[in-house]
Amino acid sequence: MSSNTHDLPNLDVSQFQVPDPTKLAGTALSHPPRILLLYGSLRARSFSRLVVEESARLLAAMGAEVKIFNPTGLPQPDSGEDNHPKVTELRELMVWSEGQVWCSPERHGAMTSIFKSQIDWVPLSLGGVRPTQGKTLAVMQVCGGSQSFNVVNQLRVLGRWMRMVTIPNQSSVAKAFMEFDDNDRMQPSPYYNRIVDVMEELMKFTLLLRNNKDYFVDRYSERVETAEQVSQRVNQRSI
């Protein structure tokens, strides 16, 4: 994705703010923030995908490195092997990312199975690495009708379960089919402005946490468990 704001014709550039890591203590920008974006529909004109693509353009303009996971071909959980190419791709992106954007349509008052299956393929621990713990998360949804917050509320619960830091702001786009032009670009609206707000906030939280994540997720219970394991190994060697 290009970082040029000319790619964002609906943005009031005079009000656009690129988050400044120098304003945050101890957050030198050794590399661009790595943001993974997930969407929840396989339709040819998927509005959750279009929102994600618009979000990716904004994040790139703010200095992030962005990657969008395409769920096409991802098997349903328990119907394929862990070494399936799409599963491997998704898990590697999860480990790579420092922050994430989740966007799902609302279907029958809930997130789609397409979206949920992506998260269900990601364990809390993967080869000794927690692929999502301590990473930032922004949640969004698209609606076919009037505005709803069912999906973003569910995504917050899911993000908390995955031990992610979910930012306060969120986006819910009502009648999403009316918000995009014939070129699949989002038109100026309060909904677009809210997405800019959410991406700015995600970048700020990601920059704030990136060098401090290990400290924030350091848990007493896990330190006790680790100490007990070390003690057991020492005792076994002395027998």
Reply yes or no on whether the pLDDT at 51 is more than 90.
yes
Higher confidence at residue 169 or residue 227?
A: 169
Percent of the chain with pLDDT over 90: 67
Reply yes or no on whether the pLDDT at 25 is more than 80.
no
Residue 102 confidence (pLDDT): 98
Residue 185 confidence (pLDDT): 95
Residue 139 confidence (pLDDT): 98
Higher confidence at residue 142 or residue 9?
A: 142
Residue 23 confidence (pLDDT): 64
Q: Which of 136-140, 190-194, 233-237 has the lowest mean pLDDT?
A: 233-237
Reply yes or no on whether the pLDDT at 153 is more than 60.
yes
Residue 1 confidence (pLDDT): 52
Q: What is the mean pLDDT of the chain?
A: 89
14-23 long-range contacts, CB within 8 A, separation 24+: 16/61, 16/196, 17/200, 18/61, 18/62, 18/63, 19/62, 19/63, 19/200, 19/203, 19/204, 19/207, 21/207
Kindly list the domain boundaries of the chain, sorted by start residue: 5-238
For 74-117, write each residue's pLDDT tens digit: 999 988 788 999 999 999 999 999 999 999 999 999 999 999 99
CATH superfamily of domain region 5-238: Flavodoxin domain (3.40.50.360)
> By the 8 A CB rule, do 51 and 116 touch?
no
Q: List the Cα angle 189/194/198 in 5-degree steps.
A: 150
* Inter-CA distances, 128 with 84, 124, 125, 131, Å: 20, 10, 6, 9
Residue 223 confidence (pLDDT): 80
Residue 127 confidence (pLDDT): 77
* Inter-CA distances, 93 with 26, 89, 90, 108, 183, Å: 26, 6, 5, 29, 28
Residue 148 confidence (pLDDT): 92
Residue 27 confidence (pLDDT): 55
Confidence of residue 40 (pLDDT cuts 50, 70, 90): very high
* Inter-CA distances, 35 with 66, 120, 171, 210, Å: 5, 19, 17, 12
Residue 28 confidence (pLDDT): 62
